[in-house]
Structure formats: C-alpha cells, structure tokens
Amino acid sequence: GQQLNQSPQSMFIQEGEDVSMNCTSSSIFNTWLWYKQDPGEGPVLLIALYKAGELTSNGRLTAQFGITRKDSFLNISASIPSDVGIYFCAGAVFNAGKSTFGDGTTLTVKP
Amino acid sequence: DGGITQSPKYLFRKEGQNVTLSCEQNLNHDAMYWYRQDPGQGLRLIYYSQIVNDFQKGDIAEGYSVSREKKESFPLTVTSAQKNPTAFYLCASSKIPTGNTGELFFGEGSRLTVL
C-alpha cells in the first residue's frame, strides 16, 4: 500500500524557535492534511490542502502541498509550550475511501 | 455539542477474552474508521465503513471485527485471535469517505491493556 515518510521523528526546541517538518511519498495524493495529537487524546485537524502548490496558513502554522503532489511540509513559527505533541501528516486519494498516515513527529518545546 | 464518543477510555482484559470498544458519533457523518496506535508507529487502519451495513478491512484487520448497523455507531471487537492487542484505539468519522475531503474527526481514544 501507499506509505508516507515523515521526518524528523522527533524534535527538541527552545520556546520561540521555528519548526519545520515534512512528509514525502512515492505516490501521488489529491489531499494532504496535518493533524496534531495531544498526549492521551485523539488527533485534531490543523490544516487541509487540496491543490498542488497550495500554501495555507492557520495562525502560526503554515503548510504547503508540494507541486509534484508527492510531498508536503508544515512550519510552526515562534513555538510555545502548548505546541508540544505529535504531528501527523496524512494523504488521501480520490475515491480511495481512506487516508494514509505518516508515523508522526514528536515535538518537545523547552520553556 | 456534536462529536465522537469512545468508551471506555481505559480497559483491561485477560488473555483469551474478547472485548468490544464503543464508538458513537452525532455529526451525521457517513464514513467511520478504526485506527490502532502503538508508540512510534503512527496510526494504522483496522476497519472502515462508508455506509451503513457495509465495511472494509484496513491494513491490520486480523483479529478484529466490526459492525455498522446504524449510521451513528461503529463498534470494534478485539478478539482473542489478536496476538498483541495492547494499544491505543482511535475511532474517527468523516462527512463523506476520505479521498474526497480527507478530513477526519477523531474520538478521544480507548486504551486497551491485556494482562
């Protein structure tokens, strides 16, 4: 099946620093999504991208849908302690009925 | 408020016992999904259902069973055939099957521990 390679696996940063993470695939996706999971909770959608080349922001978060449809990145600017959690990328193909998830990036922010 | 409710949040089971995890949504979503999460392994799809009375196997369906008798409900049974059932289980729903919008709404999860 399709697989997503998400990197880095984990990040340890100081409060105020910017963060960047990305996902790549050998297959094309029609939709790229980024979710955040707080400890012991279910993931919550942060940003959804629907067009190749699309750049979308949500507050301090910015994500892009790669022009080849095989990659996406998520940037977090000026990190704060509540940014701590696991960030997942996911890709979806039209009419596939399901999404494919990356293995997640665990973010730790030091005050 | 609309949302997805999973129960129980924590569950302990003895080896050889079947256990059923509940998932109920009042979002009027057509599609529902079950994922398993192990540390460092991301989310793996167990089963999914796009309409009532129909469901498909995901990537790791062995040892699990589901039913979709009502639009609102998608219970997951972890059977004794599942070799390593200890995990965090997440239920999700989407307005229409992901692949068209891809946007999933997740419940808070159920943590199953086999003793």
- B85: phi then psi, degrees, rounded to nearest 5: -80, -15
What pLDDT score was predicted for residue A99? 87
Mean pLDDT of chain B: 92
pLDDT digit string, tens, across residues A52-79:
999 999 999 999 999 999 999 999 999 9
**Which residues, given as ranges, of chain A have pLDDT below 70?**
1-2
- Tokens representing B97 are 């099957």
Cβ separation of B99 and A102 shorter than 8 Å? no
Please tell me which of the candidates A33, A40, A103 has its beta carbon nearest to residue B102: A33
pLDDT digit string, tens, across residues B44-78:
999 999 999 999 999 999 999 999 999 999 999 99
Judged against a pLDDT cut of 60, whether residue B37 lies above it is answered with yes
Q: Which residues of A touch B (CB under 8 A)?
A: 1, 6, 9, 30-31, 33, 35, 40-45, 48, 88, 90-99, 101-104
Collapse the DSSP code of A84 into the 3-class scheme (helix H, G, I; strand E, B; otherwise coil) and give the result: coil
In whole angstroms, give the CA distance from residue B89 to residue A83. 23
> Rounded to a whole number, what is the distance in Å from the CA of B104 to chain A's nearest CA?
7
Judged against a pLDDT cut of 70, whether residue B100 lies above it is answered with no
Please tell me which of the candidates B35, B99, B103 has its beta carbon nearest to residue A96: B99
- Tokens representing B89 are 């289980």
Share of chain B above pLDDT 90, in %: 78
> Rounded to a whole number, what is the distance in Å from the CA of A78 to chain B's nearest CA?
26
Closest CA to B24 of B85, B69, B87: B69
